[in-house]
């Protein structure tokens, strides 16, 4: 089961803020963040890694799926 954060169409720093809220409420389920900008991918990866999470990025056409978990 995923906690989904759809940040497509949002400009930074909003995707990171949305991810931060999901991380703060982390309950053990994988967080799936959807974005459409590589800058957001890099910023979210950096943030989540600094919080001690494992990050996996999948590219789907013009969108990116970021999977965050402990």
Write out the catalytic residue numbers: 12
38's enclosing H/E stretch is helix 38-50
Which are the contacts of 48, defined by CB distance < 8 A and separation ≥ 6?
19, 23, 55, 66, 68
């Amino acid at each position: 089961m995923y906690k989904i954060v759809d940040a497509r169409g949002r400009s930074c720093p909003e995707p990171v803020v949305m991810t931060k809220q999901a991380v703060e409420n982390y309950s053990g389920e994988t967080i799936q963040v959807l974005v459409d900008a590589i800058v957001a991918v890099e910023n979210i990866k950096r943030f989540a890694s600094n919080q001690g999470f494992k990050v996996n990025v999948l590219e789907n056409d013009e969108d990116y799926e970021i999977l965050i978990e402990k």
